[in-house]
Amino acid sequence: MKILYFAWLRTKIGIPSETVELPSGVTDVGGLVDWLKTRSPRHAEALANSKVVKVAVNQEHVPYDHPVAATDEVALFPPVTGG
């Protein structure tokens, strides 16, 4: 599974993307974010406040109860500030 990070999530975690093997038992976005927090202290700190961690699955905005599958592209980012 490809995970992408943007804006301060990218700088806090220190990498723009990583490829991970989806652990069995992780079935939705909320579970994935919780599991990502265990990957390093930087992940844990960056992902601590789920209110400011938005998620897109396959380039669509989704809520935390949205399902995830091994072939998905998942992006994590702060609330958007374009325009």
Helix (H/G/I), strand (E/B), else coil: 45: helix
- Minimum CB–partner distance for residue 67 and other proteins (Å): 19
CB of 34 to other proteins, least distance (A): 23
Residues 39-78 that bind other proteins (CB under 8 A): 56, 59-61, 75, 77-78
Neighbour count for residue 27 (Cβ, 10 Å): 13
Residue 80 sits in the site that holds other proteins (CB under 8 A): yes
Report in angstroms how near the CB of residue 35 gets to other proteins at its nearest: 22
Pick the closer one to other proteins by CB: 11 or 38. Answer: 11
CA neighbor of 64 nearest in space, from 79, 77, 54, 52? 54
Whether the CB-CB separation of 62 and 26 falls below 8 Å is answered with no
Q: Which of 6, 1, 18 is nearest to 76 (CA)?
A: 6
List of residues contacting other proteins (CB under 8 A): 4, 6-8, 56, 59-61, 75, 77-83
